[in-house]
Amino acid sequence: MKTKSVGDGEKFDALKKKKYIELIKQGGRRIASAHAVGISHQTFCNHMKKDRAFKRAVSEAETQVNQLVEDALYQAALNGNVVAIQIWLYNRAPNQWRDMRSLKIDEKLTIKPEEKSRTIVFTEKTK
């Protein structure tokens, strides 16, 4: 039995590419969609590199799906879903709205067992 290396000799013709794009438009992920049409992830990557029209079609399909999710998020926010409101504002207006629970600490911090109950205050560095 002859074995082939991943991505070699797999037929990824126009019909399979069309099916692949349809799967992406339905919310399919890249690797799962590749496997669903009978190709390896490597074959998919090879075609993304050498077929500009296919690469553009994949990008457009992913953008369409993302826009549907954005629309659903927006509607959820308008309907009072607090998490949707937060996500929308954090991503659309990050300078005005941000999750203050996310802290970036540049300094090494060591807390000794006997100091666990103390309050630690961090101040933002200025440039």
Q: Are 11 and 40 in contact (CB under 8 A)?
A: no
Residues 6+ apart with CB under 8 A from 107: none
So what's the pLDDT on residue 62?
98
Residues 6+ apart with CB under 8 A from 84: 73, 74, 76, 77
The proportion of the chain whose per-residue pLDDT surpasses 90, expressed as a percent, equals 65
Measured from the Cβ of residue 48, the count of other Cβ atoms closer than 10 Å reads 14
CA quadruple 76, 77, 83, 87: dihedral, nearest 10: 110
Residue 66 has pLDDT above 90, yes or no: yes
In degrees, rounded to 5, the angle at the alpha carbon of residue 98 between the alpha carbons of residues 115 and 63 is: 135
Q: What pLDDT band is residue 78 in, cutting at 50, 70 and 90? A: very high
Cα-to-chain-centroid distance, residue 17: 22
d(C-alpha 12, C-alpha 37), whole Å: 8
| Mean of all residue pLDDT scores within the chain | 85
Give the tens place of pLDDT for each residue, 91-120. 999 889 987 775 666 677 666 666 555 556
d(C-alpha 26, C-alpha 11), whole Å: 23
Residue 123 has pLDDT above 70, yes or no: no
